[in-house]
């Protein structure tokens, strides 16, 4: 994903749209043979340059795109997203059907599936997974179990406030999930990588839920570094010294065997180094090439695949940390102070745009009537004189919405200082304190963003602001936070699609004209580049590529 696609830095405590009446039928066929290296014309390995290191491999406790890029190859959810689109598709569930009131969902599961440890996937296994996710301790609930918290609202300890109300085994191949209310999240939320199915036996034996707080981060059980899924690949090795993650084909996979037998993720934080390694042939591709390099890469024979801009970059604000940020006039002045068109023109690739709200224009609920807040440094300066901001940005990372965090930060910082703001600069590694700092409320302001997990307004603004108690923007200390959370909940629970869309349009208007809990800045089209020898790659607007179809010519 996806706030952000964020991951909590950790210490590992061990070694290494509500569519009533909707249903779907899988088009995927099981069986098939591995063809990687077939006839000697293809390489046995696809090597991908990753921008950051994973901290865990248990997808339930992951929240950042670099980790999900890996776990997506290893795990299946009940549902998935059709490759190359943002549309829902079957995975471990072949069909699904809601009740008339939208509060109960029946899923018909795929038969003949086993996890990579040989354990069967069936209705009992599916319900055990949901109960495992629901039953989190205090540390996990407040920290790394973020996707469940932001989508379901609460855990077993606060069950009355949870969207999820239980999973029942109807027969060996059918489950029923009960929800507290109708919601636009279902069934699409079950396509989230974090809600993937895992081997119940491995979860139990590895004490997978034993997460503990450790400083600003968390300590995880051994299982988190060696989880068991049902996807086309399984984990072979994480060589932290050499910064490589190796996956091998899962010979028990229920679908078509991967075209390439081995995936290696080579962790290379510096984008220019990734480019050099692609040109040298030591990697076969990498994500988020610098836009200034796109033409040169193509001229050299590489393939630059540009995705749609299904994302948002924002400047987060913390009124709990800095009392002056409780004043909406101060927040509006900060927005006026930032020359966002100049950010688009000087820092972002062709196709980027100034954001008028927190969701992309392709998402239902986007308010076409909203216009960008005008850049007005002089007016901003009248409100901002004397304001000091502890403003943070991440290092050792490139994100779809944030190609070069430092350059974007410096441009915004210059605008703020020109408007009279004293900026105290903080930078931390993405997976080395930055994201935990955001969650812990360590900064007055910060740069972050979000790539949608599926096509839903709730996946953006509901994720950001819906949970009053725990959202990063500390809306709980504002005079509008409760109202905003209630408005988001009411929109999400609206069954009629047209009515729900109108509610989200109104909320988007209020978010930028009345509340302004953060500053939506830009949308940016991210690219992925691969060698000219790579075949079979289908790029995703969600940056959620699956590599089982990829082959690399010798």
Model pLDDT for residues 306-350, shown as the tens digit of each residue:
998 999 999 999 999 999 999 999 999 999 999 999 999 999 999
Residues of the chain with pLDDT > 90, as a percent, come to: 83
Tell whether 2 is covered by a domain.
Answer: no
Give yes or no: residues 271 and 402 share one domain: no
**Which is more confident, 57 or 5?**
57
Last residue of a domain, one of 208, 225, 242: 225
Which of 225, 254, 274 is the last residue in one of the domains? 225
**CA atoms lying within 13 Å on the CB side of residue 512:** 25
300 and 319, same domain (yes or no): no
Residue 394 located in a structural domain: yes
Helical segments of 103-198, H only: 123-134, 138-142, 146-152
Same domain, 368 and 474: yes
Write the pLDDT tens digit of every residue in 34-64.
444 444 699 999 999 998 899 899 999 998 8
At 52 the pLDDT is 86
Q: Are the beta carbons of 453 and 436 closer than 8 angstroms?
A: no
| 139 Cβ neighbours under 8 A, 6+ residues apart | 211, 212, 213, 218
* Close Cβ partners of 325 (under 8 Å, ≥ 6 residues apart): 317, 318, 319, 331, 444, 445
Give the list of residues 6+ apart from residue 543 with CB closer than 8 angstroms, or none. Answer: 1, 65, 287, 307, 400, 451, 526, 528
- The answer to whether position 214 is within a domain reads yes
* Structural domain span for residue 144: 75-225
User: Among residues 163, 190, 225, which one ends one of the domains?
Assistant: 225
pLDDT digits (tens, 9 = 90+) for 487-545: 999 999 998 889 999 999 999 999 999 999 999 999 999 999 999 999 999 999 999 99
Question: At 545, which CATH number?
Answer: 3.40.190.10
- On whether residue 45 sits in a domain, the answer given is no
What's the domain count of the chain? Answer: 3
Whether residue 365 sits in one domain with residue 447:
yes
Question: Residue 213 pLDDT more than 80?
Answer: yes
Tell me the pLDDT tens digit for each residue of 396-450: 888 899 989 999 999 999 999 999 999 999 999 987 899 989 999 999 999 999 9
- The number of residues making up the chain comes to 554
The sign of the torsion formed by the CA atoms of 253, 259, 263, 268 equals: negative
- Among 25-34, 230-239, 424-433, top mean pLDDT goes to 230-239
| Residue 184 located in a structural domain | yes
**Which pTM was predicted?**
0.79
CATH of the domain at 157: 3.90.76.10
Token digits of residue 114: 């086993």
Residues sharing a CB contact under 8 Å with residue 502, sequence separation 6 or more, in sequence order = none
Q: Is 132 exposed, middle or buried (0-12, 13-18, 19+ CB in 10 A)?
A: middle
Same domain for 179 and 261: no
Whether residues 213 and 260 fall in one domain: no
Residue 479 is assigned to a structural domain of this protein:
yes
**Judgement on whether residues 369 and 518 belong to the same structural domain of the protein:** yes
Residues 515 and 545 in one domain: no
More confident residue, 401 or 20: 401
Do 378 and 516 share a domain, yes or no?
A: yes
| % of the chain at pLDDT higher than 70 | 93
pLDDT given for residue 510 in this prediction: 98
- Whether 500 and 542 map to the same domain: the answer is no
Alpha helix ranges (H) inside 216-313: 271-280, 294-299
53 within domain boundaries:
no
Mean pLDDT of the 170-195 span: 96
Q: Are both 124 and 248 inside the same structural domain? A: no
Tell me the pLDDT of the chain averaged across its residues.
91
Q: What pLDDT score was predicted for residue 10?
A: 37
Say whether both 518 and 531 belong to one domain.
no
């Amino acid at each position: 994903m996806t706030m952000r696609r964020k991951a909590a830095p950790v210490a590992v405590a061990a070694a290494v749209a509500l569519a009533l009446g909707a249903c779907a039928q899988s088009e995927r066929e099981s069986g098939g043979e591995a063809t990687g290296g077939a006839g000697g014309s293809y390489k046995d390995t696809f090597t991908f340059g990753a921008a950051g290191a994973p901290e865990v491999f248990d997808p339930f406790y992951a929240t950042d795109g670099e980790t999900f890029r890996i776990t997506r190859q290893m795990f299946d959810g009940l549902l998935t997203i059709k490759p190359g689109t943002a549309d829902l598709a079957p995975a471990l569930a072949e069909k699904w059907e809601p009740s008339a009131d939208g509060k109960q969902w029946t899923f018909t599961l795929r038969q003949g599936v086993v996890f990579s440890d040989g354990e069967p996937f069936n209705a009992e296994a599916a319900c055990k997974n949901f109960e495992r996710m629901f039953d989190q301790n205090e540390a996990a609930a407040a920290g790394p179990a973020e996707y469940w918290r932001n989508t379901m609202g609460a855990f077993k300890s606060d069950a009355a406030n949870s969207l999820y109300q239980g999973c029942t085994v109807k027969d060996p191949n059918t489950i029923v999930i009960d929800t507290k209310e109708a919601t636009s999240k279902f069934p699409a939320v079950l396509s989230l990588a974090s809600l993937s199915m895992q081997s119940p036996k491995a979860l139990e034996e590895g004490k997978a839920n034993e997460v503990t707080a450790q400083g600003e981060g968390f300590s995880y059980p051994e299982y988190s570094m060696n989880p068991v899924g049902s996807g086309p690949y399984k984990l072979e090795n994480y060589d932290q010294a050499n910064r490589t993650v190796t996956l091998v084909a899962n010979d028990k996979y229920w679908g078509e065997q991967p075209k390439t037998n081995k995936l290696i993720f080579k962790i290379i934080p510096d984008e220019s180094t990734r480019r050099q390694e692609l040109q040298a042939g030591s990697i076969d591709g990498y994500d988020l090439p610098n836009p200034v390099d796109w033409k040169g890469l193509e001229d050299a024979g590489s393939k630059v695949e540009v995705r749609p801009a299904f994302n948002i970059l924002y400047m987060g604000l913390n009124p709990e940390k800095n009392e002056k940020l409780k004043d909406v006039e101060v927040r509006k002045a900060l927005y006026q102070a930032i020359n966002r068109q100049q950010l688009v023109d000087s820092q972002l690739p062709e196709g980027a745009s100034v954001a008028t709200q927190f969701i992309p224009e392709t998402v239902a609920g986007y308010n076409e009537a909203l216009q960008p807040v005008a850049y007005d440094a002089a007016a901003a300066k009248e409100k901002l004189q004397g304001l000091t901001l502890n403003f943070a940005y991440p290092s050792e990372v490139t994100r779809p919405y944030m190609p070069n965090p430092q350059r974007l930060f410096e441009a915004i910082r210059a605008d703020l200082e020109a408007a009279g703001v004293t900026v105290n600069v903080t930078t931390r590694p993405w997976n080395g304190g930055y994201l935990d700092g955001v969650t812990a409320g360590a900064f007055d302001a910060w740069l972050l963003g979000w790539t949608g997990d599926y096509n839903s307004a709730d996946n953006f603004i509901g994720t950001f602001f819906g949970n009053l108690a725990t959202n990063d923007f500390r809306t709980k200390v504002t005079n509008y936070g409760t109202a905003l959370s209630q408005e988001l909940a009411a929109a999400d629970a609206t069954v009629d699609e047209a009515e729900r869309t109108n509610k989200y349009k109104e909320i988007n208007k209020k978010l930028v004209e009345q509340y302004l809990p953060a500053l939506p800045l830009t949308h940016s089209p991210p690219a992925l580049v691969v060698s000219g020898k790579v075949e079979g790659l289908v790029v995703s607007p969600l940056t959620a590529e699956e590599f089982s179809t990829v082959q690399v010519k010798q």
